[in-house]
Chain A
């Protein structure tokens, strides 16, 4: 690969990382592709394709897993209601939340809460390592 192409790849990676950081931070807000593409300074179509090539999954799936990870945290560490948690992490409906949670985690939100222990590890590591796979 020529050095010019390498620089372009690195620059693109760094922009995708910026958008991914925005999802990690602002997951509770309605984040659409247009907003994320703007953060990355690329077009929406280019963004989705390139994010997936860079990180191995679509932005939508990454955001979904981040929201579920946050829900898992709140279920473990607080006694907020499942409905409150659903909206707090950015889902638009309880039905979608429960279905998505169950599909990813393999248990209902209530079931997960019953079984989860509390953990004490630096936040960034917890976020990275308790993120559920799909």
Chain B
């Protein structure tokens, strides 16, 4: 019997959660799943529309979870593109989605390109996180 049944949450760092909402919801079209003020922390998660079972936590580095010095290190790594947490989405139409997002001012690193596994492209969020989306080979 498998011990786990699914991955439900993963996390990426962002510099500012309102700016993250503007990007992930306003531009990429994800849905807000939870936006809760716990006091010391704002628990903010998003998901692909129609898929609340797979959430992405948009976390701002800072106290009390991290010392200010560590939070600063995280922010520096984030803006250098070195914090990992790469998100890869699937899409029905890579080129069309690319055109739409380009029109919204999204910063692309890789244009839609044919690969052995399908067509994919790459972009960055405002903070430095790497995101890709793939139209799988049918």
Question: Which residues from chain A sit less than 8 Å from chain B, CB to CB?
Answer: 1, 6, 9-11, 13-14, 16-18, 20-21, 24-25, 54-55, 120, 122-124
Contact = CB atoms under 8 A, between A and B. Distances in A.
A124 B122 contact: yes
B15 A10 contact: yes
Given A14-B127, A123-B120, A20 B88 contact: no
Contacts of B124: 17-18, 21
B128 A124 contact: no
A17 B122 contact: no
Q: Which of under 10, 10 to 19, 20 to 34, or 35 or more describes the interface residues of B?
A: 20 to 34
Main secondary structure of the interface of A (DSSP, over half): helix
Interface of B: 15, 72, 75-76, 78-81, 86, 88, 107, 109-111, 113, 115-117, 120, 122, 124, 126-128, 130, 132
A121 B124 CA distance: 20
A20 B120 CA distance: 20
Nearest to A55: B80
B79 A10 contact: yes
A8 to B, nearest CB: 11
Given A25-B110, A124-B132, 11 more contacts: A10-B15, A10-B79, A13-B79, A13-B80, A16-B80, A17-B128, A18-B107, A18-B124, A21-B109, A55-B80, A124-B110
